[in-house]
Chain A
C-alpha cells in the first residue's frame, strides 16, 4: 500500500487502460453512452425550452411593456391602469430632446417615445381599444414586432406614416370589427387637457404581432399625430430605452434616473412581475434535471458493477502485477468517466442540433394552451432557445453527476482480493 500516484504520467496510463477497456463490449458502451446522452440531451432540450419560454416572455415584456429601461412620470405610475396622458415625462421638454439626451449615454442603443391611451370606438361590437402611438420606422430598427417571424408583423398594407391621419390595427380587431384597409376607424379619446378628441384615421395596415393583447385591442398610430391630438405638445408619456447589452439594464436604469431627476419612475425590464415570477420558478427545473441525470447514471453504475464482476480475474492479475488498489479503482472510475464524457458529448451534439433546428421553427403555444392566456405577456409562439451556454452546462452537469454516481461502484473493485480473484 505504498502506492501513491506518481504524477500525471501514471494517471494518463490508467486513463489509457480505461479507454481501451471501454471498447471490449461495444454494445454495452453504446447503451451507456446513449443513456447519458439522452439525459444530457433532455437537460439541454428542456433548459432551452424553458429559456425559450422565458425569452418569449422577456422579449414580449421588453418589446411591448417596458423596453430595457422604462421611463414614466410618477403621476402616470400612480394611475397606470387608466393610461393617463396628462403626465408627460419631463414636462415642457420635447420627446426628441429627451431621447437625444438619453441616447447620448454610453451603451444606449435607442430611446423610443411611445404613447398609449384608451379610445372609445364608434363601433358597437368593439367598444374600447388602446391607441398605441409609436414611430414605426425607428421602432422597427430596434425591435421586431412580430416575435415569431422576427419581422414587422404586417399582414397587409403598411404602417401609418409619420403624422398621417392613418392607423394600423391588429388582425383580431380587424376580424371583430369587420374593418379592413381603406376603412375609417372613428374613435374618441381624451386629451391631456381633458378634452374629448374625435378622430377617424384611415386603416392602412393590418398587423399580427402574435401577442393576443395587441392583436385584439391595439390601434397603432403615428406618435406625432397622437401626441398632437392628445395635446402633449411634443412631449411623451413613456420612453422605452434599449441598451446595447440587456445585461447592463440595471446600470442604465440608474443613469437614466439620475439624468431625469425626481418625479419619474425608471424601471428595468427584469423588475416586471412576470419576468420575476418565471425566474423564481426556474429552480424547480434544476431538481427535475438532477433526477434525470441520476437515473441515466444508474446505467453507468450498473455497467461498472458488471465490468468489475466480469473482470474479477483481471483485477486479481492487476493486483498481482503490483497495481495499487487506488490505481485499480481509478481505472474503473476512468472507464465510467470516459463513458459519461462520450455520452455527454453525444447528448450535447444531439441537444445542440435539435435546439438549433428547433430554434429556427416556431412552436405554436396554442396547441398546449388552447389560447386564452391573455393576461400573460406571452406571445402565441415560442422558439426553443439555442444557447451554447446551456449546452456547456448540460455537459458539465451530465459528467459531474455521472462521475459522482460511479465513484461508489468503482470502489468495489478495491475490495477484490487478488489472490482469491485469480483462483476463480
Chain B
C-alpha cells in the first residue's frame, strides 16, 4: 500500500467517525470512563501502597537497621541481651557517608498506671536523633515528646486509653467524674467539665450500654495543655514500668540472668500517628535516661540503629543508596563482626501480605471494566460495519484490498479508542489532582457510618501519580479498540462482494 493510499484510508476512517457523532461520542465516553477509572484506581492503590510504605519507613523503621545477627534471628522475642555497645563510631561513619542514624534500645515491660496495667513494647530512643530518621515524634495527639535525660514517656493512643492516662476523647460519665476530681479548685473543675459534652448519637456505644461523652471539638491547644497540666498534677500521668533486664551471665556460660527493674516515669505525650503501630501498646522514652541503675544499666548499649539517608524527604521511599547493601558498604570495615544490616522490608511481612491481597482483587476489577469497554467498542464497530455492508461491497468492487478495508475500520475504531483514552487520561488526571493533594479522610467517614468502636482507624488515603501507567492505559485502550474492529470487519469481508452490494 502506498503512502498516499494509507493516508486516504486514514482520512476515510476519520470521516466515517463523524457520521454518527453521538454514537462515537458515547463509545468514546465508555472508553474514557474505563481509562479514567483505571488511572484513578491505580493511583489510589499506588498511593495507599506508597503511603503505607512511607508510613513504615517514616514512622516505624527507617530505611535499614543495624542489629546483632543474633538479635535479628530472634527479633520477635525482643531479646534485649543481644544488644551491642559502641554504636557511636558506627553512627559517625554512617553520618560521614550522608546518613542519619538513630540508636534505639527496645524492651518489653508492663506499664502500671493508676487504674490498670498493660504489656508494652518500649522504644528507648535518642530524642535528638530520632526526629532525624522518624516522624512520629511530631504526631502527638496531646502533650509533648519526652525530654532528653528524663524518665518521661510518650505512649500510643490506644494504650493511653486503656491505661486511662492522657486526655480521654470519649470518656464515660464515671470517667468524667474522675477527671473533674483532678481539679484543684471549683474554677478548674468547671473548666474540665466545660471541655466535655455529650457524644454524638452513637449506636455502638449504646449497644455496649455505655453512654459516652466527648471532648468538645473546638477545644484549643492552650485549653488542652491546661487540661493536661491539671490531670498531670493529680497523678493521672504517673506510671511505673516493670521490666526484667536480661543479661548474659558474666561467667561466659551463656546463661541469661534477670534483674528486676521498676522505673517510675510520667507520661508526657500521647502519640497518634498515621502508622497504627505507633498508636498501640507502644511507648517511647529517652535512651539517655536508661543508662544507669535508674534505668536499664544500658551503659551505652543499644539493640539497633535505624538508618535513613540524611535529609530524605518523607515523600520518598528508600532509594538504592539506602539499601542494606549500600549501608553495609558505607560502614565498610567499621561494621564489627556479629552485626548485620537489614533493609526495612525484612521487618514487615504482615504488611506485604495485606497489600498483595488488595492489589489482586482491584486488578481483577479493572480487567473486567476493560472487557466491558471492549465490548462497547465492538458493539459500535459491529453496527458501523453492518450498516456499511453495501459501502464495503462497493469499495471492494472498486478495487480496495481486504487489508485496506480492515485497516480502515481498525483505524476508525482506534480513533474512537484514542479519543476516549485522551479524555479518560484528562479526567483521570483531574480526579487525581485533589486525590494526590488532599486525599480522602476515611477515618471521618468510618466514624460516621459505623460509629466509634473504641478503635481509631488512622486512615487518610492519598493517591499518587503513576505516569507510566497513565500513558500505558491510554495506549492499551486504543490498541484494544482497534482490535475490537478486527472481527466484525473480517466477517464483513467473508460476504461475497455481489451479495454485500445487494445487502439491505
Contact = CB atoms under 8 A, between A and B. Distances in A.
Interface stretch (B173-181, B379-387, B404-412): B379-387
B23 A35 contact: no
Given A78-B116, A271-B207, A373 B357 contact: yes
A371 B372 CA distance: 32
Contacts of A296: 372
A38 B379 contact: no
Given A298-B376, A299-B379, A81 B119 contact: yes
Given A298-B29, A368-B356, A369-B353, A276 B20 contact: no
B323 to A, nearest CB: 21
B267 to A, nearest CB: 20
A375 B20 CA distance: 56
A295 B34 contact: yes
Interface in A355-389: 365, 367-375
B450 A280 contact: yes
Contacts of A49: 361
A370 to B, nearest CB: 5
Contact of A299 (B30, B119, B208, B368): B30
B360 interface: yes
A305 B453 contact: no
Nearest to A310: B387
A371 B354 CA distance: 9
B266 interface: no
Interface in B356-400: 356-357, 360-361, 365, 368-369, 371-373, 375-376, 378-380, 382-383, 386-387
A294 interface: yes
Contacts, number: 120
Given A31-B375, A298-B27, A309-B20, A370 B356 contact: yes
A375 B450 CA distance: 22
A283 interface: yes
A25 interface: yes
Sort chain B's interface into a size bin: 35 or more
Interface in A290-306: 291-292, 294-296, 298-299, 301-303, 305-306
A32 interface: yes
Interface in B29-45: 29-30, 33-34, 37
A38 B375 contact: yes
Given A369-B356, A371-B353, A291 B37 contact: yes
User: At the interface, is chain B mostly helix, strand, loop or mixed?
Assistant: helix
B444 to A, nearest CB: 12
B493 interface: no
A291 B449 contact: no
A57 interface: no
Contact of B446 (A280, A302, A310, A365): A280
A291 B350 contact: no
Nearest to A277: B457
Nearest to A378: B357
A374 B26 contact: no
A410 to B, nearest CB: 13
A372 B369 contact: no
Contact of B350 (A292, A301, A372): A372
A344 to B, nearest CB: 14
A338 B22 CA distance: 22
Contacts of A42: 365, 368, 372
Nearest to B118: A81
Contacts of A4: none
Interface string A1-42: 000000000000000000000000101100110110011001
B349 interface: yes
Contacts of A326: none
Interface in B332-362: 349-350, 352-354, 356-357, 360-361
A260 interface: no
Contact of A372 (B119, B352, B379, B453): B352
A303 B379 contact: yes
B379 A46 contact: no
A415 interface: no
B495 to A, nearest CB: 14
B449 A28 contact: no
B369 A295 contact: yes
A268 B209 CA distance: 13
Nearest to A31: B379
Contact of A292 (B368, B379, B449): B368
B376 to A, nearest CB: 5
B350 A28 contact: no
A288 interface: yes
Contacts of B376: 35, 295, 298-299, 302
Interface in B160-207: 204, 207
Contacts of A39: 372
A372 B349 contact: yes
Given A42-B368, A296-B372, A302-B379, A373 B353 contact: yes
Contacts of A295: 30, 33-34, 369, 372-373, 376
A298 B23 CA distance: 10
A279 interface: yes
Given A292-B372, A310-B387, 10 more contacts: A27-B382, A28-B386, A31-B382, A34-B375, A279-B450, A291-B369, A295-B372, A298-B29, A302-B30, A309-B23
18 contacts: A31-B378, A42-B365, A81-B118, A81-B119, A277-B457, A283-B449, A291-B37, A294-B33, A295-B373, A298-B30, A298-B376, A302-B23, A302-B27, A302-B30, A305-B23, A369-B356, A370-B353, A372-B349
**Top 10 A-B pairs ranked by shortest CB distance?**
A372-B353, A31-B379, A298-B30, A369-B353, A280-B450, A369-B357, A368-B357, A372-B349, A368-B360, A302-B26
